[in-house]
Amino acid sequence: MLRRLTPVLLTLVVVALGITALAARPDNDAPRRDADYVVLVGAAGLRWDDVDPENTPTLWRMAQQGAIGSLSVRSAHRPTCPVDGWLTLGAGNFAAWPGSRPGGGCPASGVTVERPDRIGANLPEQASVVAGQAKLAWGAKPGALAESVRCSVAVGPGAAVAAARPFGRVDRYAPTLPDDPTELLGSCVLSIVDVGTVDDDDPTARADQARQADARLARVLAGRPPRSLVLVAGVSDTEYPARLHVAVADGPGWEGGWLTSPSTARAGYLQLVDLAPTVLDVLGRPMPDRAFLGRPAVSVDERPPDLRAAIEAAADADREATAQRHVAGWFFTLLAAAQLVLAVAVLPLLRRARRHAGPHGPEPVSRRVVAVVELLLIAAALALPAALLADAVPWWRGENAGWWYASVTALLIVGGTALVRFAPGHHRTLGPLGAVAGLAALVVGVDVLTGSRLQLNGVVGYSALEGGRYAGLGTVGLGVFIAGSLLCGGWLAQRVRRGWRPMAMVAVGGAAVVVVGSPYLGADSIGAIALTAGVSVAAAICTGGWLTVSRLAWATMAGLAVTVGFALVDLGRPAVERGSLGRFLAAVGDGTGGLTVHRSSTANVQTLVNSPLTVLALAGAALVWLALLQPWGGLMRLFGIYPAIRAAMAGTGVAAGLGGVLGGAALDVAGAAGALVVPMAALAALRVLDHSTDRTRPDTGRPGDEIGAAPPDAPGGGGVAPPTDGGSAATDGPAATDGPAGGGKPDEAPAGEAGTTAGEQPDAGVPTGARIPAQPAPAHRVGDVAGPESR
């Protein structure tokens, strides 16, 4: 009875851990900041490396007394041109100005602003702009910010784009900033001012543009209304590639600190779409019916006391994000190519790894060649963890940043490979697998526990320029962590008695679910739900047997239970505090959920086509299916001897597949997981095949004690039935035993010692030198010698 209830109880444990991790929320009760007026000043292209006390003294003083941050100006178009940035600012959502973009750059044509009277203005193109957003995946509504306030002022053509209502009317408009703008800025609660563009490539000319923008900002500050908040933002890029830009808030309650928002959850970072909800939140106005994509900004007290150091940190983050874009492409391309070459090189070794019994048969591969290939497989599996760890070194600050990054990553790969090679237990079949999985899970886990500093703008992390994620666990990190934690769980489960294996798998997997899903740590609710399903699958089959319909149903029910439980908790929160799942369900309720589904499906298709990790995922699946799972490939034999490893790999496949598709990352999560799992599976398969014809009794290893041999004094004594190819006869029946006859502590068989289907049993050690010479095969084979799970 207890055995039948075990899957149910373990599923409940995983579900409880998942819901607990997802339901917890950091305390976001920031002090209320309000103002009577908001003045939003925009300077397209303005970056932190344009700011200094000599050339831009006004902005420098404002940054000294206010809160600052790095602004991601992502819009519906890449790059975000000035007109796209102003439109996104007024919509509070990713928007794009219609029209062609020659060469992927920004159009030179300006915006047409008509002045039918001396008070306001009109944008004749606004109707086509509004209609054009309906064709995009974001559902932006131009003019949503202006519609949320009674009156708004626009100064300059860019500001007119942001302040225009959906039908094109600008309440109050001035083409240029007056010498004394006090009356103009005090006429409405919201004023949007365009102080120019900083876009020249020449340093001298660019400094002059920044100085002119700073002079206009000085006039704005001189004429600001009382009890007003002034926001300065570099509202757009001016060319490809994208960059991080200036964001400063100066007003009551914004003294010092870093700017941030719930949409980034990272101190010092906010998005362009956060500015519109920030304006309404400060003015105490309700949000529009169609919620903004961003969240109101706040300031946090984590900024260095020295302003120069704070600005240098923001400028350095921009340099790192820019370098990351160039390096990431060739890194993943080289990684995919290297793993493909290694997969092809492993194929002939798998064919010749089995040492045939008898005098005839192909010559086995040299031990030295096998040892070199094993080291290469370990290095390939450690490539992603090493690449993540390489971002602890500021490689982006020097010239030839790509070569610096490659050198640091190569050194870390060599060091990690040496650590695994000389680690205790390396000679055992599962020794390298356990060590590599442990290192991978440790690197990603420690980074998440310390604030995910290596993943932000990291080559194998996520970029603040992309606007998808700013904190927590990224797509590649999720794949590596899923694979590392589940393989660690499988390795640990294989070392304990059969009855305790599900508990060991749940303990490791449950802790991983908390790390992935907790908003304090990984902050990936989709990843936590996917990992819950993977852990349930692994726990269900780690004692033996296959993934039956009932076991798959339990895993599916576990994932659904976590999803439903978290959804109910998330829907109960205020709209501004909901996570992605709660926002999606709320959108389904008001009829706009199709936009979210459309965005996710579009992201999946684009990622599937453009990402090198897709190649890794497909190549890994092909190697496993066409080679490793074949009778000569060794993986079926490995699974029969070590069922917990089979469970871990199955759970990894389920979790990585669900996490990628549901998260809009297609096969990227599976590709990152496969980059670790597939090389380790090939290495373990080579070791199992190398000892597939050994015939030693695991408890003594003495001649004559072979499994299936007759006693020495019996007629025909000494005969042995050799195993057939691919023979892993593991079952989940009641006759299965667990551990050596004497009830000793379970262990895995050493590679290089006796380790046949009988000798490679995970529950018995074999004395060194106990190998029995191969015997000629009999005319009629009896069949495979049963593994430890089927005796």
DSSP output for 408-431: HHHHHHHHHHHHHHTSTTTTBTTH
Residues (pLDDT < 70) of the chain are: 1-33, 102-105, 107-109, 289-291, 353-364, 546-548, 550-601, 692-791
Residue-level pLDDT at 730: 37
169 phi and psi angles, rounded to 5 deg: -80, 135
Residue at token pair 């369900």: 585
User: Kind and range of the H or E element at 172?
Assistant: strand 172-174
**Predicted local confidence at residue 77, as pLDDT:** 83
Continuous H helices in 611-703: 612-623, 635-641, 643-662, 668-690
CA pair distance 334, 376, nearest whole angstrom? 15
Length of the chain: 791
**Dihedral over Cα of 587, 28, 263, 393: its sign:** negative
Residue 695 neighbours by CB under 8 Å, 6+ apart: 706, 707, 709, 720, 722, 756, 758, 759, 772, 774, 775
CA separation for the pair 262, 248 (Å, rounded): 17
Query: CB of 645 within 8 A of CB of 638?
Result: yes
**Token digits of residue 50:** 């344009």
Q: Which amino acid is at 400?
A: N
340 to each of 615, 618, 622, 628, how far by Cα in Å? Answer: 9, 10, 10, 15
Q: How many CB atoms lie within 10 A of CB 237?
A: 28
The dihedral built from the CA positions of residue 67, 71, 76 and 77, taken in this order, carries a sign that is positive
Residue 242: strand pairing partners: none
Amino acid in the structure at residue 444: V
Q: Between the CA of residue 151 and those of 146, 148, 186, 187, 291, what are the distances in Å?
A: 7, 9, 11, 8, 20
Specify the 3-state DSSP secondary structure of 5.
helix
577 secondary structure, DSSP code: G
In one letter, which amino acid is 604? N
Model pLDDT, residue 83: 92
Residue for token pair 């289907």:
757
- CA pair distance 236, 186, nearest whole angstrom: 26
SS3 call for 282: helix
pTM above 0.75, yes or no: yes
Tokens at 671, concatenated = 């590709």
Q: Which of 691, 688, 697 lies closest to 639, judged by CA?
A: 688
Q: What is the pLDDT of residue 717?
A: 37
H/E run at residue 296: none
Query: Cβ atoms within 10 A of the Cβ of 536, count?
Result: 32
The first and second tokens of residue 171, run together, are 């309440």
Q: Taking each helix axis from N to C terminus, what angle separates 580-589 and 593-610, rounded to the nearest 10 degrees? A: 130
Determine the Cα–Cα distance for residues 762 and 704; give it in Å rounded to an integer. 22
Count the neighbouring beta carbons within 10 Å of the beta carbon of residue 569.
Answer: 18
